[in-house]
């Protein structure tokens, strides 16, 4: 298969991208890896690593910066690495696109260049959150700040297909993120979405609170992109706060320093569980093409994991599965049943 990596995405670009693409190309020699970005910057970095033949450099003169406003920049900068890379997917010259860049920019470019899967109201960003032993998919984690109940129903359909096809979960359990477990809890959006999910034919388990997301009671949790984004960023912030405070406290005395040294393997396990590079990248589900967005802080290892996530989606023909799933819903006389 053919995968495109945006060379100008991560906060520390392009070094992590260059290292990642070379590592991925060695790991999966049967695949082709396109590295898209400013050739004059990338060429010397890449050649220093003596890349295998299945790494191909593709020039894109512009960069979609983290500070660029998505809507206007898409038209003002038609030749960013994002745009050039996504056009390769659009034109059938590549199977999936991976970036660690501006999420809004990725969404805007994806909508502009690739468009939506037929019948999809709004594409959404799906994240994978660590639980004890597995991961829970949460959608939308930031693409749509304002949502309608029908969008959340479609998020549930698409994320369930992902859970089934990519993660191999049979009849994925679907939860609705709320401020209480009982039916009837929630804001207006949650209350209006509940009956749609109840009659959807999906394996709906009702409202779930954040605690349940991390307990792994559901395979898929749906929410609007504003709440999902607050959920994501609160998780990250609390982890950051705890790790900082613990580090400081462990360095406070000779005794605790020795303790920290001995306890190091335990901290390593914690780190592995929370490491964003374990989670890979978040797919933009609903776009008519496979697009994955990694964390801006991604290093080379995280980017290789993101490419692995993209490979898995291509392998199971995720795009075709999503399109078929949505089409089946639209054909059904009552689109909320079935």
Which spans of this chain sit near its own copies (rule: CB under 8 A)? Answer: 130-132, 142, 145-146, 177, 179, 185-188, 190, 209-211, 213-214, 224-227, 229-231, 233-242, 244-246, 249-250, 252-253, 255-256, 258-267, 269-270, 273-274
Given the complex with its own copies, which of 55 and 174 has the nearer CB atom?
174
Angle between helices 318-331 and 149-165 (to 10 degrees): 130
Given the complex with its own copies, which of 59 and 121 has the nearer CB atom?
121
Given the complex with its own copies, which of 263 and 330 has the nearer CB atom?
263
Given the complex with its own copies, which of 37 and 130 has the nearer CB atom?
130
> Chain-centre distance of CA 237, in angstroms?
18
Given the complex with its own copies, which of 239 and 327 has the nearer CB atom?
239
Q: State the nearest-atom distance from the C-beta of 184 to its own copies, in Å.
A: 9
Sheet holding 55-59, edge to edge: 55-59, 32-37, 2-6, 96-99, 291-293, 282-285, 124-130, 135-139, 220-222, 173-177, 203-208
Contact 120, 203 (CB under 8 A): no
Residue 157 φ then ψ, to 5°: -65, -50
**How distant, in Å, are the alpha carbons of 17, 275, 299 from that of 10?**
8, 16, 8
Rounded Cα distance, 221 and 299, in Å = 28
Q: State the nearest-atom distance from the C-beta of 56 to its own copies, in Å.
A: 35
Rounded Cα distance, 324 and 314, in Å = 15
Q: State the nearest-atom distance from the C-beta of 113 to its own copies, in Å.
A: 23
Rounded Cα distance, 50 and 56, in Å = 12
Given the complex with its own copies, which of 122 and 311 has the nearer CB atom?
122
Q: State the nearest-atom distance from the C-beta of 115 to its own copies, in Å.
A: 24
Q: State the nearest-atom distance from the C-beta of 22 to its own copies, in Å.
A: 32
Rounded Cα distance, 111 and 61, in Å = 21
Given the complex with its own copies, which of 181 and 312 has the nearer CB atom?
181
Q: Find tokens 């992109």 and name the residue.
A: 225
Q: State the nearest-atom distance from the C-beta of 148 to its own copies, in Å.
A: 12
Rounded Cα distance, 62 and 79, in Å = 5
Q: State the nearest-atom distance from the C-beta of 274 to its own copies, in Å.
A: 8
* Cβ burial, residue 310 (10 Å; 0-12/13-18/19+): buried
Q: State the nearest-atom distance from the C-beta of 90 to its own copies, in Å.
A: 28
Q: State the nearest-atom distance from the C-beta of 309 to its own copies, in Å.
A: 22
Given the complex with its own copies, which of 187 and 337 has the nearer CB atom?
187
171: left (phi over 0), alpha (psi -120 to 50) or beta: left
Given the complex with its own copies, which of 229 and 309 has the nearer CB atom?
229
Positive/negative CA dihedral, 6, 9, 10, 12? positive
* Cβ burial, residue 333 (10 Å; 0-12/13-18/19+): exposed
Contact 314, 96 (CB under 8 A): yes
């Amino acid at each position: 298969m053919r995968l495109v990596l945006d060379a100008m995405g991560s906060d520390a670009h392009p070094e992590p991208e260059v290292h990642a693409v070379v590592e991925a190309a060695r790991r999966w020699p049967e695949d082709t890896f396109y590295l898209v970005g400013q050739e004059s910057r990338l060429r010397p970095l890449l050649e220093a690593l003596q890349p295998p033949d299945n790494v191909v450099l593709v020039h894109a003169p512009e960069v979609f910066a983290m500070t660029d406003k998505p809507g206007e920049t898409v038209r003002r900068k038609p030749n960013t690495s994002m745009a050039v890379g996504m056009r390769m997917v659009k034109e059938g010259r590549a199977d999936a696109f991976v970036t660690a860049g501006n999420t809004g920019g990725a969404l805007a470019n994806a909508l502009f260049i690739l468009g939506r899967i037929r019948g999809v109201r709004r594409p959404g960003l799906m994240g994978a959150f660590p639980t004890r032993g597995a991961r829970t998919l949460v959608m939308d984690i930031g693409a749509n700040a304002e949502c309608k109940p029908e969008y959340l129903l479609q998020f549930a359909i698409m994320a369930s297909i992902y859970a089934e096809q990519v993660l191999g979960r049979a009849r994925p359990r679907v939860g609705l993120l709320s401020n209480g477990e009982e039916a009837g809890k929630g804001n207006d959006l949650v209350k209006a979405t509940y009956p749609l999910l109840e009659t959807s034919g999906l394996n709906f388990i009702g409202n779930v609170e954040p605690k349940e997301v991390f307990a792994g009671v559901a395979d898929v949790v749906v929410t609007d992109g504003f709440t999902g984004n607050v959920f994501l960023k609160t998780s990250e912030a609390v982890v950051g706060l705890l790790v900082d405070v613990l580090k400081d406290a462990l360095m406070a005395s000779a005794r605790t320093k020795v303790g920290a040294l001995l306890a190091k393997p335990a901290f390593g396990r914690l780190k592995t569980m929370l490491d964003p590079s374990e989670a890979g990248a978040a797919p933009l589900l609903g776009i008519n093409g496979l697009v994955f967005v990694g964390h801006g802080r991604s290093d080379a290892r995280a980017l290789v994991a993101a490419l692995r996530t993209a490979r898995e989606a291509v392998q199971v023909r995720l795009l075709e599965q999503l399109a078929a799933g949505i089409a089946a819903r639209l054909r059904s006389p009552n689109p909320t049943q079935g």
